[in-house]
Structure 1
Amino acid sequence: MRNNPTGRQLRLGTELRKLRERAGLTSTQASKLLGVQQNQISNVEAGRAGVSPERVRALACHYDCGDKALVEALSDMATERTRGWWEEYREILPAVLLDLAEVEHHSTMLRTAVTVHIPGLFQTTDYAREIFRQDVPEMSPPDVEHRVSFRVKRQAVLYRDSPTPQHAIIHEAALRMQFGGRSVTGAQLKHLLDMTERPHVTVHVIPFDAGAFPGSGQSIYYAQGPLPPLDTVNLDQSHGPVFLDSEAQLDKYRVLLDRMEATSLPPAQSRDFIHKVIQDL
């Protein structure tokens, strides 16, 4: 029995519960169909107990789920039992940050929209350090360094053999905010400019003169799964990341990101814009 299930384990349980409820079955009815105790179904759906790919397929059959692609994707989630690099931070950082790294690791594409900070996967160590120094309550120097090293290790998804495509929408305000002063900001913007040259990275800039646009009041981080129903939205709050995965929420943030991208400059013009901001420093 797991005392602290990961975000991925919780998500698998949530999706199995959705399938059961869609079939109109109670957990007691599901347990009888599978020939197990009712608490076993409850523990699987709560992420407290593991489940084999074979049992996932059996549950999907009992739940009359005809979406073969979804069933196989959920079976793959049940198969995945590797402990990622983020586990070394298990007793150091909040578990929700480890869940974020796990979501990124398994994502097929990442979309982000920011209005104040440069996206985390593009941040330099000095820039990230300055961001974390502004947290309330103030973090100790060792805690700041743990956060910085964790953020840098998360960036590995952009450098591995099959890098995860990253689509970022960045408001001009985020480009002009001088965290750490001109030197740190200048190095950060040059690094961002270098990242735009990578084939799997797409950056769109929303200039001040674009005016109002949907989603302007928040930062959005959208991680695509193997199928749209398995996507995840992360909203970065002052108390930590918040994950959303209901169908209505996913639809809403897909539309928001699409509209924000439609408001922004195309990639080539965005690179020119970033270069201009660097010259203005």
Structure 2
Amino acid sequence: MPPSTTPTLRQQRLGAELRKLREHAGLTSTAAAELLGVNQARISSIEAGRYAVSAERVRAFARGYDCADESLIEALCAMTGGRTRGWWDEYRDHLPTALIDLAELEHHAVELRVCLVIHIPALLQTTDHARALFQEVAPPLLPYEVEHRLSHRIKRQGVLHGRRAVRYTALIHEAALRMGFGGREVARAQLQHLIDMGEHDNVVVRVIPFGSGFPGTGQSIDYLSGRVPQLDTVQLDTHHGCEFLDAQSQLTKYRTVLDRMEPAALPSSESRDFIHRIAQQL
């Protein structure tokens, strides 16, 4: 398969996981190349995500590295074949690369868990609410940039619908429900949309009210579960864009934080009533 000069985050992750397997086997890239019958430069390119590999090659690497974790091997094989051509590809010339990578990661995730304090989760936002947020971005976005980001966000929400709908759990702090972005009518419609989405079998919406405590730093967390826990990813929103974390210690930390947040949240039915009361107060 031909090399890629601009590997996606998913391709880079596959290469990084193959590097971990090699290092766990105690092999240098030179030794691995000799063992597997390829040149050292090819090993380096594969591990950097610049050269696509086949499922057969991944299995050969796993055998050479004495990896016996069949679940992990099959999950890595599912990541092969080069860049995924999805709807997000049409935005590559219009949006930051991190947003394209996020859409691709969500598409391949088997479960999504989020916790937000100030904002409504992106996958649960209405069009008007999302537009109001994008219009407040600093530095300001041009009108066509707002529309590109808006359509991209709405298309991302497709992972919650259809036959392949992913399981989605959203823990939302009361503060986010009361921010009122876009004005009274937009805010009311957004809260009703949260209630409606919470009725879907694959969507869980739970509210963390003021006074119930809040484990962690209050940072927004987007946890994307892969086919196996080793392939999970955490996405954090920052002022300079998306940040992705995948070190095992980081994954363990954020899983623990989310697990500790859930007891602070109201059950789904109580959360629905809570959101409805806030909407009536607007």
TM interval, shorter chain, is over 0.9
CA distance in structure 1 between the partners assigned to 2:259 and 2:82 by the alignment: 31
Deviation of 1:75 (Å): 0.8
Amino acid of the structure 1 residue aligned with 2:137: D
Q: Which runs of 5+ in 2 are unaligned?
A: none
Aligned to 2:93, the other structure's residue is in SS state coil
Amino acid of the structure 2 residue aligned with 1:135: V
Matches within 5 A, 1:8-27: 8-27=10-29
CA distance in structure 2 between the partners assigned to 1:217 and 1:109 by the alignment: 22
Is 1:273 the counterpart of 2:278 in the alignment? no
CA distance in structure 2 between the partners assigned to 1:128 and 1:243 by the alignment: 22
Deviation of 1:239 (Å): 1.1
Residue 226 (structure 2) aligns with: 225
Question: C-alpha offsets along residues 184-226 of structure 1, whole Å, 9 cap, x if unaligned?
Answer: 1001001111001001000110001213x21242000000000
Is 1:145 the counterpart of 2:137 in the alignment? no
Deviation of 1:76 (Å): 1.1
Residue 40 (structure 1) aligns with: 42
Question: C-alpha offsets along residues 204-256 of structure 1, whole Å, 9 cap, x if unaligned?
Answer: 10001213x21242000000000100101000111111110111000000000
Aligned to 2:120, the other structure's residue is in SS state coil
Which piece of structure 1 moves more, 38-47 or 129-138?
A: 129-138
Amino acid of the structure 2 residue aligned with 1:182: R
Question: C-alpha offsets along residues 16-72 of structure 1, whole Å, 9 cap, x if unaligned?
Answer: 011111111111111111111101000000000011111100111111111011011
CA distance in structure 1 between the partners assigned to 2:80 and 2:11 by the alignment: 8
Aligned to 2:244, the other structure's residue is in SS state strand
Which runs of structure 1 show a deviation greater than 2 angstroms over 4 or more consecutive aligned residues?
Answer: 79-82
Deviation of 1:80 (Å): 6.6
CA distance in structure 2 between the partners assigned to 1:216 and 1:50 by the alignment: 39
Residue 181 (structure 1) aligns with: 183
Amino acid of the structure 2 residue aligned with 1:262: P
CA distance in structure 1 between the partners assigned to 2:6 and 2:84 by the alignment: 16
Matches within 5 A, 1:1-281: 1-79=3-81, 81-211=83-213, 213-281=214-282
Q: Which runs of 5+ in 1 are unaligned?
A: none
Amino acid of the structure 2 residue aligned with 1:229: Q
Count of residue pairs the alignment pairs up: 280
**Contact in 1 for aligned 2:7/2:83 (Cα 8 Å):** no
Identity %: 59
Aligned to 2:243, the other structure's residue is in SS state strand
Amino acid of the structure 1 residue aligned with 2:86: G
Amino acid of the structure 2 residue aligned with 1:269: E
**Contact in 2 for aligned 1:112/1:119 (Cα 8 Å):** yes
CA distance in structure 2 between the partners assigned to 1:226 and 1:259 by the alignment: 23
TM-score (norm 2): 0.97
TM-score (norm 1): 0.98
**Contact in 1 for aligned 2:53/2:82 (Cα 8 Å):** no
**Contact in 2 for aligned 1:115/1:216 (Cα 8 Å):** no
Aligned to 1:40, the other structure's residue is in SS state helix
